[in-house]
Amino acid sequence: MSDVVLEVRDLVKHYPVRRGLILRRTVGAVRAVDGVSLALRRGSTLGVVGESGSGKSTLARVLVGIEEPTSGQVLVDGTDVSTMSRADRRALRRDVQMVFQDPYTSLDPRMSVSEIVGEPFAIHRTIPRGGRDRAVRELLELVGLDPDHANRYPHQFSGGQRQRVGIARALALRPRILVCDEPVSALDVSVQGQVVNLLADLQAELGLSSVFIAHDLAVVRNIADSVAVMYLGRVVEDGPADSVYDGARHPYSQALLSAVPVADPTVRLSDGRGILLEGDPPSPVSPPSGCPFHTRCWLAPTLPEASVPVPEGEEVQARRVPPSCSGEVPLLVGAGGHHAACHFARPLAEVRR
Amino acid sequence: MTGAAPLLEVTDLAVEFRTPGGVVRAVDGLTYQVEAGRTLAIVGESGSGKSVSSLAVMGLLGPTAHVTRGTARLNGTDLLALPPREHRARCGQDVAMVFQDALAALNPVLTVGFQLTEALRARHRISRGEARQRAVELLDLVKVPHARERVRDYPHQFSGGMRQRVMIACALALDPKVLIADEPTTALDVTVQAQVLRLLAEIQAERQMGLVLITHDLGVVAGVADDVTVMYAGRAVEQAGVLGAFRSPAHPYTRALLQSVPQLGSRTRLPVIPGRPPGPGDRPAGCPFHPRCALAQDVCRADPPPPLVEAAPGRWSACHFAGDVLRGAAVPAETTPEGDPR
């Protein structure tokens, strides 16, 4: 068996945009995930970061099989999921489980905690009815909840405790892979750390591999071994976490890292330090041509390549970027496992020189 | 704090909710002040009472909540003692508020131009043309591109960041002296958050407004605030200039909260505060932080919650051991800013 437990290749997920009440014509597509390739190594954590609309949650849903990809492959232990039989796929569901973002809406308010955590046993019949109560108690203990609270309902728990219930449910079938979609973003800072540490401990204890999706770069920093930065449905940079955080090469990753507010009062916003991006991320319905980031890129207009003469008859744009940025989709390239999808990728230190 | 006369001075504010389970005190003796041209951050976790206290100042509490104690003086006039009509008239005019969720705070069936000038038209007789002109100016002020065309648009036609700018413009319509912003960037992406925070800081400096910024994000506090009030369980537990509070916190909660913020610098196991913040209905006796506090002694459990006392000049803390915490919490000098671009 190879070292890679979960892999996606050229994954694409488009959602059709339809018009009309009777004749539902398809007039376009939301290109939520637009050609993503990633690999998760055994026992490691892959962090996926990006802003809203970057496609990171859609990616999670495809990984656990809630959504079918439009094209591309999802491989578990090297086997393409789409070629599997129904029975094999059902078994696979046990191996890849998900922790959802919102502990307030992802738990059924009318089910007790023991019913919620025990439901996977009822569906997959991995444990006979008689043994379920004990299994549920063990799971609750594993995630740091009082097993005597098994008969309580979700509203009787705090946000952090509910997220623990969600984690217990995800672990019920002894999965090998955990996909966590913004597992701590709804929690208070003082509680976030508890849940992140719990996930890290469980991972070591149970030998899990996990995908950790979050918009909070600092949280991902403290749990991920490798990291992928997404923008408009594509991975723009990926690599070992230390390498990406300490030496980001893509101008978007650099801007994203610099926009994270740092809890240090000597770094003032009014200092004008940090890279300030203009505008909002474009719509995934009509992503820009070429590099998806070129419309907001802070680096492109400053490059000497941006001032090439404009062909006759063409309008001179106020914001000029190198023709390759607006014309060609950059590929993920790099060395040492650290890749960036930018025609002009380089560490920030070199840019500033 | 500079010693200038405060614009807004909240003293000993208490707010209670009547619930089926009994009376719940959401805010219990909050005191703060904000001066012209300065930014006060009120920071706290969910249930700390930070939002309820500002709704009380604005006279926007729902029917189940009421102010049981305290004053909120704006230029010397106690807003809370005014009849509701007058209180409402003052709010918007002298003190205005920006809410977290612009999509919920703006009316979806009215154009933003209409909403921008609603407060203005309610108070002054102005023509339609003047109102439109003013709306365009306001959108320009918050740097919404193509303001002249966009005043005719509806809130859903704006992106999240632009919508937040529209709401800031609404709040600025009557040129308030104090702006209360309740988690104004929490719903935004981090690159857009940076834009909106910078805009707020610019406008505040230009107009010498007093800004009260309510947030849970210590990074935001560090980036824009001059002074900080840390709330826990309905009370202010620490008040100080932002440098002092971050460098050498005088309350164990502030210290633990600062330590629990995940850092970008390197991968570490996150330090945590055990337990969770108490809700308004289940606050412990004694110092409300004692069940989670590493320093808690018998006095913390037995005595009533300690009041805010000045542990050192300009450093207020509501802890029996404020002096010890302050002395023991010195942050090593090498804690310097992360390598930052440009």
pLDDT tens digits, residue range B102-123? 888 899 999 999 999 988 888 8
How close, in Å, is residue B119 to chain A by CA atoms? Answer: 28
Partner-chain contact A280 B46, CB within 8 Å: no
Output the pLDDT for position A313.
Answer: 66
pLDDT above 80 (res A273): no
Output the pLDDT for position A314.
Answer: 66
Give the sheet arrangement for strand B235-241, strand by strand. B95-98, B178-182, B210-215, B39-43, B227-232, B235-241, B315-317, B309-312
d(CA B81, CA B57): 11
DSSP assignment, residue A312? T
Output the pLDDT for position B163.
Answer: 92
pLDDT tens digits, residue range B264-322? 888 888 888 988 888 888 889 999 999 999 899 999 999 999 999 999 999 999 999 99
How close, in Å, is residue A210 to chain B by CA atoms? Answer: 17
Tokens standing for residue A201: 């401990």
Average pLDDT over residues A112-120: 93
Partner-chain contact A193 B220, CB within 8 Å: no
How close, in Å, is residue A124 to chain B by CA atoms? Answer: 34
Nearest to B306 by CA among B288, B297, B323, B318: B318
**What is the DSSP annotation of B179-214?**
EEEESTTTTS-HHHHHHHHHHHHHHHHHHT-EEEEE
Residue A285 touches chain B, beta carbons under 8 Å: no
Helix (H, G, I), strand (E, B) or coil at A152: coil
Residue A318 touches chain B, beta carbons under 8 Å: no
d(CA B150, CA B139): 8
Output the pLDDT for position A267.
Answer: 80
Tokens standing for residue B202: 């610019």
Residue type, position B320, single letter: H
Contact of B134 with B162, CB cutoff 8 Å: no
Average pLDDT over residues A220-225: 94
How close, in Å, is residue A189 to chain B by CA atoms? Answer: 7
Output the pLDDT for position B132.
Answer: 92
pLDDT above 60 (res B324): yes
Output the pLDDT for position B16.
Answer: 94
Percentage of residues in chain A with pLDDT exceeding 70?
96
**Which of A198-207, A219-228, A299-308, B175-184 shows the lowest mean pLDDT across its residues?**
A299-308
The helix (H) or strand (E) run that includes residue B147 is helix B147-150
CATH number of A4-104+174-240: 3.40.50.300
**What is the DSSP annotation of B255-283?**
HHHHHHSPPSSS--PPP--SS-PPPTTSP
Calculate the alpha carbon distances from A113 to A107, A183, A276, B117 in Å: 9, 18, 45, 50
Nearest to A224 by CA among A236, A207, A238, A235: A238
Nearest to B238 by CA among B220, B219, B213, B257: B257
Average pLDDT over residues B331-336: 32
Output the pLDDT for position B4.
Answer: 66
pLDDT tens digits, residue range B31-73? 999 999 999 999 998 889 999 999 999 999 988 999 999 999 9
> Chain B interface, mutation test: which of A212, A264, A299, A348, most B Cβ atoms within 10 Å?
A264
pLDDT above 60 (res B3): no
Domain ranges of chain B: 8-232, 235-328
Banded model confidence at residue A352, pLDDT cuts 50, 70, 90: low
Average pLDDT over residues B202-226: 94
Banded model confidence at residue A319, pLDDT cuts 50, 70, 90: confident
Partner-chain contact A267 B190, CB within 8 Å: no
Please list, in sequence order, all residues whose beta carbon lies within 8 angstroms of the beta carbon of residue B3, skipping any fewer than 6 positions away: none
Residue type, position B211, single letter: L
Output the pLDDT for position B330.
Answer: 39
Residues of B in contact with A189 (CB under 8 A): 45, 216, 218, 257, 260-261
d(CA B293, CA B273): 8
CB pairs under 8 A between A and B: 178
The per-residue pLDDT of chain A, averaged, comes to: 90
Residue type, position A60, single letter: A
How close, in Å, is residue A305 to chain B by CA atoms? Answer: 21
Output the pLDDT for position B333.
Answer: 31
Average pLDDT over residues A2-29: 87
- CATH for B8-232 (3.40.640.10, 3.40.50.300, 3.30.460.10, 2.60.40.290): 3.40.50.300
d(CA B255, CA B260): 9
> What does the angle CA B195 – CA B199 – CA B204 come to, to the nearest 5 degrees?
150
Contact of A263 with B333, CB cutoff 8 Å: no
Residues of B in contact with A186 (CB under 8 A): none
Residue A353 touches chain B, beta carbons under 8 Å: no
Average pLDDT over residues A245-249: 94
Partner-chain contact A260 B162, CB within 8 Å: no
Output the pLDDT for position B1.
Answer: 47
The 3-class secondary structure across A4-28, one letter per residue, is EEEEEEEEEEEEEEEECCCCCEEEE
The per-residue pLDDT of chain B, averaged, comes to: 89
- Beta-strand runs (E) in A150-244: 177-181, 209-214, 226-231, 234-240
Conformation bin of residue A235: beta by default, left when phi > 0, alpha when psi is -120 to 50: beta
For CATH 3.40.50.300, the residue range(s) in chain A are: 4-104+174-240
Average pLDDT over residues A133-161: 91
Output the pLDDT for position A317.
Answer: 65
Specify the higher pLDDT residue, B328 or B253.
B253
pLDDT tens digits, residue range B215-269? 999 999 999 999 999 999 999 999 999 999 999 999 999 999 999 999 888 888 8
- Please report the ipTM that was assigned to this predicted complex: 0.84
Partner-chain contact B270 A193, CB within 8 Å: yes
Partner-chain contact B224 A254, CB within 8 Å: no
DSSP assignment, residue A307? G
Q: Give me the residue from A191, A263, A273 closest to B340, CB to CB.
A: A273
Average pLDDT over residues A279-297: 90
pLDDT tens digits, residue range A169-215? 999 999 999 999 999 988 888 889 999 999 999 999 999 999 999 99
d(CA A45, CA A320): 39
Contact of A225 with A45, CB cutoff 8 Å: yes
**C-alpha of B179 from chain center:** 10
Output the pLDDT for position B282.
Answer: 82
> Chain B interface, mutation test: which of A44, A146, A257, A280, most B Cβ atoms within 10 Å?
A280
Length of chain B measured in residues: 342
